[in-house]
Amino acid sequence: MFHRFTPIIAAALAVALIQLSGCKDPEDNEPADTFDKEAMLTNLADNVIMPAYTQLADDANTLKSAIDALQADPSNTQRDVAREAFVTLQLQWQRCAPFEFGPAADENLRRTANTFPTDTAQIERNIREGNADLSTASNTDAKGLPALDYLLFGPRSQEGDWSADRLEQLSVNIDLLVEEFTTVNDAWQNSYRDEFVKNLGNDVGSALGQLVNELNYEFELVKNARVGIPLGKKSLGVPQEEKVEAYYAERSLDCINAALTAQQNTFKGGEGLGLDDYLDHLDARYGEGMLSAAIVEQFDECLSNTNAIASTLPDAILNSSGQVEELHTSLQNLVVLLKTDMPSQLGVQITYQDNDGD
C-alpha cells in the first residue's frame, strides 16, 4: 500500500512546489533600487540645468544690446564689444547643449542654435537679397551661433564692411536666439521643472532616460562633429579643418573644453547628487574600481588632451595631427563608458541613432 501511493504523493508535492514558486514575485530576486532619483533630478534641475538656461538667456540679451550698439555705431570698437559678448554666449551654449529634451526638444533648439559648419554662401545670399526669414529650409545651416561667428569674425568683419543689410543679418540672428533661449528658460521656470523632477523611472520617456540619452548624444557630437570630421575621420583621412566649430572666432578648443566640462559637471550633479552617485549606489564596477570614477577620470583625460593642444584646432589638425588623434582616441574610450557601461547599469536604453559605428 505504501509503495503504491508514493508516486502519487511525490507528484502532488511537485505540483504544490511549482504552484508556490509561481506565486513568488518575479522581482523578489532583484535588488531593491532605493536611490532617491527625485532628489537627484531636483538637484540637477535647480543647480545645473536651470541656472545654465537662465544665464544663456541673459547672455543672449547682452549680445543683442551689443549688436544694437554696433548698428548705431558700426565701428571696430563696437564690433569688438559684440565679439566678446558672442564668445561668452557661445561658451554658455555648451553648458546647455546636453539638455535637448522637454522645452529644448520642443523648440528643436540644438539645430536652430548651433548647426555647423555654417553655409556662408547662403548667408551672403541673404545679405544681398535682404532676406530676414531664417525659418526657411534654405537657412537651416545659415543661422544661429555659427552664422554670428561668421558675421562677427569673418573676412568682411575684419575689413570693417558693415552695410545695412549685413547689420540686419546680425540683428535677425540674435533676435532668433533671444527668442528661442528665452522660451526654453521660461518653460523650465514656469512648469517643466516640476514635470522633470517627478518623471521618475528608467524608461525611454523618463527624465533619467532622456538625460542619459542627450548627455551621450551631445558627447558624441564632441567626438564626431567637433573633432572627428575636421580630423578627416569621415573623409578617408583627408582633413576638413574648416568644419570645426567656431572656425572664424578661432575658439574651437574653447568650445570643446566648455562642452566636456559641462558634460562632466552634469554627470557629477555639480556639487550635489548626480549620475555618479546613482552608479555608486548600484555598486557599479569597472575593472578593480568604481564605474563612476572611471568615467570622471576619462573626462579628465579628454580635457587634458584638449588643453595640451597649444595652437588653434585647425592648425593642429594640419600641423600636429598626432595630438588631435590622441584627443579623438580619449573621446572614443569615453564613449564606451558613457554609452554602454553606464546605461546598462542604470537600466536605460540608448534610443538615438548616430550612424557612427562608435
pLDDT score recorded for residue 161: 86
pLDDT at 32: 57
C-alpha cell at 301: 583625460
pLDDT confidence of residue 353: 77
Please tell me the predicted confidence (pLDDT) of residue 265.
Answer: 98
Strands (E) across 46-189 are located at: none
Going from N- to C-terminal start, the domains of the chain cover: 32-200, 201-358
List pLDDT tens digits, range 90-106.
999 999 999 999 999 99
The answer to whether domain 32-200 and domain 201-358 are alike in fold is: yes
pLDDT of residue 141: 96
What is d(CA 225, CA 219) in angstroms, rounded to the nearest whole number?
Answer: 10
- Give the pLDDT confidence of 202-237 residue by residue, as tens digits: 999 999 999 999 999 999 999 999 999 999 999 999
Q: What angle do CA 246, 248, 250 make, to 5 degrees?
A: 65
Phi/psi at 290 (5° precision): -90, 145
pLDDT at 16: 44
CATH number of 32-200: 1.20.1420.20
pLDDT for 33:
75
Sites in the chain below the pLDDT cut of 50: 1-31, 355-358
Cα–Cα distance list, 95 to 64, 264, 265, 339 (Å): 20, 10, 9, 20
pLDDT of residue 25: 46
CA-based nearest residue to 150, from 75, 62, 249, 79:
249
Give the DSSP letter string of 171-202: HHHHHHHHHHHHHHHHHIIIIIHHHHHH--SS
Scored b (16 or more CB within 10 A) or e, 62-78 reads: bbbebbebbbeebeeeb
Homologous superfamily, domain 201-358:
M75 peptidase, HXXE motif (1.20.1420.20)
The model's pTM: 0.89
Is the omega angle on the peptide bond into residue 51 within 30 degrees of 0, that is, cis?
no
Distance CA 297, CA 295 (A): 5
